[in-house]
Amino acid sequence: MDSQPPKPANPPTSESAFEADRYVGEELAGAPLRPIAAVGPEFGRFVVVAPHPDDETLGCGGLIALMARRDPENVRVIIATDGTASHPNSKLFPPEQRRDMREKETVAALTSLGLPDAANKVEFLRLQDANMPDEESDPRYLEALGRMGRALRRWSPQTVLTTWRREPHGDHRRTTGLVAHCIAAEGVGRVRMLEYPVWLWENGQPGDWPRHGEMRAWRLDIRPVVTFKREAILSHRSQVSNVITDVPDGFRLSQSMLGRFAAPWEVFLEEN
């Protein structure tokens, strides 16, 4: 994950808006709980698309761990950005070294989740962290779209999981936009699309949350593998410790974020 997204400059002050925000969040946290035995067969070949190295573990680590034990050959991961923006001022760890560090951390995390031959089941697109193209008018957009489309076609997934479409983080929204564009385009085929929240829990504002009737939400029971997920999160050492020593004030996942993603369930959203 790159640097924490900024809080809105003019947050809403309406008490009713905040009440609605909390209500929807409580609805997600109380969505129907399903075991992997009930939902696993529906996935087929599936790809988890993550904006940054670590988002795959935070949002879908339990799912990956459960499916790695059921059908590991049908599990793939795509990481959109190079993850270098979490410590942009480091001199001891220049961008290429930070990129390589984060890619190694991702493979270590996937291995901790129990995914065999993890290095050959993840693809790193290496788009620029914190500077993904936002609009088709940006000349970089077609290049990013091409990278994402080729990766998806290479895996030929039946199900794609990507971050929630209104995540309060630019890279997350843009990653999901690229995925949706690819799925809608010819050449990828019919694909089921699920979305998972990451920053929504921490920084979601009214307007970011799913609207009533917009999505169908459910929770995956990850109690059998939650210990492995917690270990995998700690594999992303650059995001949970001061391993990048010359930037002591660099990004670190907060204790509230770590606590949220140590829960024994994960939330997924699908259009009605």
- Residue 9 in any domain: the answer is no
Longest dimension (CA), the chain: 51
Contact 245, 92 (CB under 8 A): yes
**Please, where are the H alpha helices in the chain?**
15-29, 36-43, 55-70, 95-112, 139-155, 170-184, 200-203, 226-235, 237-240, 255-260
- What is the average per-residue pLDDT within 10-21? 42
Give pLDDT, residue 18. 37
pLDDT tens for each residue of 114-132: 999 999 999 999 999 999 9
Neighbouring CB atoms inside 10 A of 233's CB total 21
Nearest one of 118, 142, 151, 165 to 47, comparing CA atoms: 151
SS3 call for 269: strand
The position carrying tokens 């001199």 is 91
Check residue 221 and report its DSSP letter: E
196 - beta bridge partners? 163
- Residue 6 in any domain: the answer is no
pLDDT tens for each residue of 147-159: 999 999 999 999 9
All residues at 6 or more sequence positions from 90 whose CB lies less than 8 Å from its CB, including other chains: 98, 244, 246, 247, 250
Give the CB-side neighbour count of residue 70, counting CA atoms within 13 A: 22
Contact 78, 125 (CB under 8 A): yes
Q: Print the domain residue range for 234.
A: 18-266
- The rounded distance, in Å, linking the Cα atoms of 56 and 39 is 19
What does DSSP say about strands 215-221 and 265-271: parallel, antiparallel, or unpaired? antiparallel
Q: How far is CA 48 from the centre of its chain?
A: 8
Query: pLDDT above 70 covers what percent of the chain?
Result: 90
pLDDT tens for each residue of 56-71: 999 999 999 999 999 9
Mean pLDDT taken over the chain: 91
Residue 190 has pLDDT above 90, yes or no: no
Neighbouring CB atoms inside 10 A of 195's CB total 26
- The rounded distance, in Å, linking the Cα atoms of 12 and 46 is 38
SS3 call for 262: coil
- Residue 11 in any domain: the answer is no
Higher pLDDT, 9 or 62: 62
Which residue type does 265 have?
Answer: W
Contact 151, 105 (CB under 8 A): no
- Residue 12 in any domain: the answer is no
Residue 27 has pLDDT above 90, yes or no: no
- The rounded distance, in Å, linking the Cα atoms of 128 and 126 is 6
Specify the pTM: 0.92
Give pLDDT, residue 15. 42
pLDDT tens for each residue of 29-46: 999 999 999 999 999 999
Number of domains the chain is built from: 1
CATH of the domain at 196: 3.40.50.10320
> Which backbone phi and psi does 206 adopt, to 5 degrees?
-50, 135
- Residue 4 in any domain: the answer is no
Residue 19 has pLDDT above 60, yes or no: no
- Residue 45 in any domain: the answer is yes
